[in-house]
Amino acid sequence: MVVVIAQLPMKFICALGLVQALVSAQDAPNPVAPPTPLERLGRQTQVASIRAFASASDARSAADEMDARLAAEASARSRRATEVGVAEVAQRTMTIRGAALEAAKEEAGTARATARAARALAAAKAGVKKAEASATQHIRKAVEDDLANVYMGLQDWKMKVLHDPVKEATVAGMKAALPYEKALQTIEKRVSDFESRAVGLSNQARGLRTVAKGLADGAVAKQAGGALKAASDDMMNAHTMMGQAAQFEAQGLRLMKDAQVWNVQIPTYVGAAAGAAHQKTWMYAKHLYAPPPVSGAPPPPTPVFLQKH
């Protein structure tokens, strides 16, 4: 065994020593924490690379040995052929022409043997390249097979983090409900403005009635005292104020009715916003949300503006 190892090339002996060292290191007890899957895969890949390098070195050594053997055989054949030619010349005393022809035949045989040796050497080199390519392909396939699950897991994790279906469905639902929510806010603001103006007009009417009643009482007192002109003016002003109070009260009642009409539409917009959000979230994540209910009523209009007057 020692003699066989000594005859191997130095590169192969070094590679073999590295492989044995890696295998011994893997088999030896390790007091440290066990390696991770990626570290174990890297070690396996390194061991496979060293083995492939050793195989390639062995193939090159075999090719060199085959080349030397073929050259030796060719030389031996040439030597034997030359000895036979010399013997034949000595025995048969061939003529110069016959010796030349025989020499030409021997030369042709030598050329054929050289060509055969060259073809064998080329085949051996091609075998070495093929062995290297096969080893590289095998190592690449083994690494890709081992890392396939890791890559797939990373892709799934990336899709879940960057494209969360629940988050995207929620954002889409909020965008779909936004027009109805804006219209709802506008309607609520309009109802609040109508009610505030109606309350203000009612307070103004109440104040005018109070002032008119005071003027009327004063006019009665002035009329009893003989100030008929002043009493008449106060009474006219009191009637005017009562008329203005009646107008303010009528305007306030009309605003309250308009506010009630708009206030009735608030639940419709609330339902439309919820339905639009549900529809859009279901479209983005159908496996996570229930389908929206079927509604034959059209959604309310969204272009709602505040009253300027």
Summarised one tens digit per residue, pLDDT across range 242-288 is 899 889 889 888 988 888 888 888 888 888 888 888 888 888 777 77
Cβ-proximal residues to 156 (8 Å cutoff; 6+ apart), any chain? none
Give per-residue pLDDT as tens, 96-119. Answer: 666 667 767 778 878 887 888 787
How many residues does this entry show for the chain? 309
Residue 152, pLDDT above cutoff 60: yes
The pTM for the full model equals 0.40
Rounded-to-integer distance, Cα 211 and Cα 209, Å? 5
User: Can you give the pLDDT at residue 235?
Assistant: 86
| pLDDT of amino acid 1 | 38
pLDDT score for 160: 58
* Residue 74 clears pLDDT 70, i.e. is over it: yes
Per the prediction, the chain carries an average pLDDT of 75
Distance CA 128, CA 138 (A): 15
Rounded Cα–Cα distance for residues 80 and 92 (Å): 18
**Which residue, among 137, 143, 135, has the nearest Cα to 57 in the 3D structure?**
135
d(CA 76, CA 300): 106
In this predicted structure, the answer to whether residue 17 has a pLDDT above a threshold of 70 is no
> From the CB of residue 63, how many other CB atoms can be counted at a distance below 10 Å?
19
What is the pLDDT confidence band of residue 40, given thresholds at 50, 70 and 90? confident
What pLDDT shows up at residue 300? 80
The rounded percent of the chain whose pLDDT value lies above 70 is 73
Q: Mind giving me the DSSP string for 177-222?
A: HHHHHHHHHHHHHHHHHHHHHHHHHHHHHHHHHHHHHHHHHHHHHH
Q: What pLDDT does residue 23 have? A: 46
The pLDDT value given to residue 3: 38
User: What are 197-216's pLDDT values in tens digits?
Assistant: 989 988 998 898 888 888 88
d(CA 266, CA 178): 15
Structure tokens at 188: 């609520």
CB 115 within 8 A of CB 97: no
Give residue 309's pLDDT band: very low, low, confident or very high (50, 70, 90).
very low
pLDDT attached to residue 154: 57
**Type and span of the H or E element at 24:** helix 10-27
19-36: pLDDT as tens digits: 455 445 554 445 556 778
